[in-house]
Each structure stands twice: as C-alpha cells, then as structure tokens.
Amino acid sequence: MTNTEVFLQQMIIGLSNGMIIALIALGYTMVYGIIELINFAHGDLFMLGCFLALTILGALGIDAAYDPNSVSLAVLPLFIAVPAFCAIVNWSVDRFAYRPLRSAPRLAPLVSAIGVSFIFLNLGLFWGGLPMDVFNGGVAAAAPKDFPALVSRTNLLGESSNIIVRWNEVLVAMVTVPMMVGLSLIVRFTRIGKAMRAVAQNQTAARLMGIDVDRVIGATFLIGGALAGFASIVWASYNETIYFQMGFRVGMDAFTAAVLGGIGSLPGAVLGGVVIGIVRAMSEGYIAAEWTNVVVFTILVVVLTFRPSGLLGTPTREKV
C-alpha cells in the first residue's frame, strides 16, 4: 500500500469509530447539559445493549459462522429492541437513583452514578455466563464474545483495491449520521427540545414557566439511552467482539470526546468523537497501539489548557 492509501484507510477506520464514539458522547453531554451530572454508568449501559443484541441473535439462531450476502434482516429487530431496552433502563436509573438526589450535594449523585456503573458491570459479567451457544455455553463468562457479522465483508471498492470499504462502514454512517441530525432537529425545533434548553439554562425559571422539569430530565435520559442502544448495535457489528468490561473503555473515549468538544454542547460531542476516532486510528497506524491513549490524552490536555471549555463549549459562570 502507498502512503496515501494507508492514510485513507486509517481515515475510514477513524471516522467509523469516531461516529460511534460521538453517538455515545451525545448521551453524556445531554445529561450533563441538563443536570450537570457525569453519568458514569452510560458506558456500561452501552455494554448491556451489546449483550442484549447478541442474546437476540442467539435466540434467532444466528452465530459467529453466519455470513450474509448484504445487510442482514436480523438487524431490524435489533434496532427496535436494543434502543428501547437501553432507553427504559436509563430512564429507570434516573427515576430511582438520580431523581431522589436532585437536591443533594453534587457528590451524592456522582457516587450514585459510579455505583450504578458497577451494578451494570456485574450484570454484564453474569449475562456473559448464560448457557447459550453465542456465549460459548456460559463456561467463560468473562471471556470476549464473538459477535456475528450482520453485513457482508465484501470490499465495496473491489477485492483488488488496497483501500477497504465494507458494508459495516456504510452501516455506521447510515445509522449514526441520521441519529445525530435528528437529535439536533429535536432539540432545536420541537417542544420537548425547547423545554430541554430551558431546563438546561435555569431549572427554577423553567418550573415557574410551567415546565415539568422531572419529565424533561426523564425524556433526556430516554433519548440518551436510546442513542447508546443504537451505538451498541453498530459498534458490535463493526468490531464483531464484545466483552463485559468494554463499557469502561468505550465510555472513557466517549466522555473524553464530550469534554474535548465542550461538554454540554451537542455539536461539540460530535466533533470530539470524530477527533478521538481519527486520532486513535492514526496513532495505531503510524505510531503504536500502546501509545494511543498517551496521544489522545495529551491532545486533550493541550486543548483544555488553551480552551478550558472545549473546542465548541462556551465558558459558564458557576451557579451560586
């Protein structure tokens, strides 16, 4: 491969992973923008979505040996069940773990979020021990699980091309781009979106204007959870391996993307996710995989040194 082909291939990989990271980062930044809570459980919710997707495929008789010719119809039930599951779980966490702590000191909901993260992590470990063929019979719950290929591995540019673009890259773009655009339209033009922006600016004033703040926050968790569900499907089908600790790694990338872009800013989360994805791909392609985290967080530190609010974030005064 020529240097140009290597660069283009790494860009394709980086953009694909970056869009998935951005989809997860949107969940972080939405919740923080509304109630200023870092929802550490969001990455592990994404992991549970991956495990549900694999469970559904196992129930349908689809395993790692499945080889579709194009986009599999098995994708359709996943895109209904997994986002719905993640949305309901995320809403339930807010309703029973975070809402009672609304008026508590900020440290209390933060510790609660860490606790929920560990609960989800252990649920994933137990889930991996299910006696199903797709979970290797449940004999090694902590071992990585092979995720079936739901789309063809054929190179769309031709098998003779050194640059590889497969259906899984297309699937990532087909899912994530409309999700991001749709979310932006919802927040900007719909009634619930305007209520979200009002609550984000001032909850007390929003209540005085007749807005049901708890309902709006609940809707935010529903939407953020659904986004995590969509991300879990495209991530698992793209990388074809899942494991119960993946929520920490992917969640850390997504949280870093949200901070880099400007936490609380939806366009910033998207930009941060794409930047993180490209930086990771370029580091692994041109430097070494073991240096990737060093490169990513060095860039984060440099950016925050000169722009503490992130690339697209706006400075805010501390509320007293």
Question: Nearest-CA neighbor of 54 among 171, 133, 165?
Answer: 133
- Per-residue pLDDT at 192: 93
- Per-residue pLDDT at 71: 54
CA distance 17 to 40: 20
Give the lowest-confidence range in 38-42, 138-142, 277-281, 302-306: 138-142
- Chain centroid, CA 258 distance in Å: 11
**Domain topology for 3-306:** ABC transporter involved in vitamin B12 uptake, BtuC (1.10.3470)
Give the lowest-confidence range in 68-82, 84-98, 150-164, 197-211: 68-82
Going from N- to C-terminal start, the domains of the chain cover: 3-306
- DSSP code per residue over 75-142: HHHHHHHHHHHHHHHHHHHIIIIIGGGTTS-THHHHHHHHHHHHHHHHHHHHHTTSS-GGGGGGS-TT
**pLDDT one-digit tens code per residue, 67-81:** 666 556 667 889 999
- Residue 113 banded pLDDT, cuts 50, 70, 90: very high
